[in-house]
Amino acid sequence: MAARSIASLTISFGLVAIPVKLYSATQATAGISFNLLHKTCGSRLRQQYICQKEGVVVERADMVKGFEFAKDQYVTFTPEELKELEEEGTKTVEIAEFVPAESVDPIYYDKAYFLAPDKGGNKPYALLVESMRQTHRSAIGRWAARGKMYIVQLRAVEGGLVMQQLLYAPEVRTLGELEIPQTPVRDAELALAKQLIEQTSGERFDPGAYEDDVRKRVEAAVERKIEGKQIEVSPILPQTGGQVIDLMEALRASVRKAAAKAPSAAAPAVKAAAAARKPPRKAAAEASPATRAKAAKR
């Protein structure tokens, strides 16, 4: 089934206007939704709003929106006032600057869209894509829609343009807010960790190699329920305290496991694991002459 455009836009690139069509790059099929039912009769439940002061059900016609500026103190807004505050949609993506493509941290990524050339936009569209690809830059711009102003990034990818809606700076938290201690890493541990990374590395990310196992289990359970079958429920096991892990031994075991999956890499993996092992307390060279003589007789 051919993709359906959800809007027509214009990319403003200097004095160049590029007509494009907007398409959703993702589809909401990852989750399976359930409805709330009355346990005794199986009927759907309806959500209601209860007034905390009077304890009565409030209909939508009697509701207003309010902003809490102090504890239990609100200023209210009418629908007309809120409409006045909205950003007027222009159907234009205004490019403000071009930045190195890798300079935008993916943590700012929100919703993604595909952009395809509209009628009369093939030439300028291709020019923009190729120029960004060769300069290794992406475009940062603004897009007004649905009453809001969005920051967007235009990325040149294989086949065309992706418009990535971005979060504003205040919407993204930083690691500086966390208390992460500075912990030294031993060379032996680092060597094994790097070895494990090399053994389990791929050339590129293949999203098709990963499946939503939870969704598959839920779909299978739904089918069993429709057929009148029961679902076996696992017993709830008591929780235990956190297990103390020997980091070096865990790394060695991981390397051995990865090597078993890739026989060709087994030899270097085993050698690296052996080299990284902690040396004995007394090396053979430090042993006494009597000890070495006794060892030789054996």
Dihedral through CA 129, CA 135, CA 138, CA 139, nearest 10? Answer: -80
pLDDT average, residue stretch 47-59: 93
Give all domains of the chain, ordered by start, each with its CATH number. Answer: 7-26+86-170 (2.40.290.10)
Dihedral through CA 116, CA 120, CA 124, CA 127, nearest 10? Answer: 70
Mean predicted lDDT score pLDDT of the chain: 84
Q: Tell me the pLDDT tens digit for each residue of 171-226.
A: 999 888 898 898 998 999 899 889 888 888 888 888 888 888 888 888 888 998 88
Q: Percentage of residues in the chain with pLDDT exceeding 90?
A: 47
Q: How far apart are CA 264 and CA 255, in angstroms?
A: 13
The 10 Å Cβ neighbour count of residue 38 is 9
pLDDT at 142: 94
Contact 45, 34 (CB under 8 A): no
Which sign does the torsion angle of CA 291, 296, 297, 298 carry? positive
pLDDT average, residue stretch 18-29: 87
pLDDT at 263: 52
Top pLDDT among 116 and 225 is at 116
Residues in the chain: 298
Give the number of C-alpha atoms closer than 13 A to the C-alpha of residue 162, restricted to the C-beta side.
Answer: 16
Q: How far apart are CA 89 and CA 116, in angstroms?
A: 20
pLDDT at 243: 61
pLDDT average, residue stretch 109-131: 94
In degrees rounded to 5, what are phi and psi of residue 66?
-140, 155
How confident is residue 20, by pLDDT bands cut at 50, 70 and 90? Answer: very high
Radius of gyration of the chain (CA): 31
Q: How far apart are CA 233 and CA 10, in angstroms?
A: 54
DSSP symbol at 244: P
How confident is residue 240, by pLDDT bands cut at 50, 70 and 90? Answer: low
- Terminal alpha carbon distance of the chain: 78
pTM for the structure as a whole: 0.70
In degrees rounded to 5, what are phi and psi of residue 217?
-65, -40
Q: Tell me the pLDDT tens digit for each residue of 244-293.
A: 568 788 888 888 888 887 654 444 444 444 444 444 444 334 444 444 44
Structure tokens at 219: 């779909």
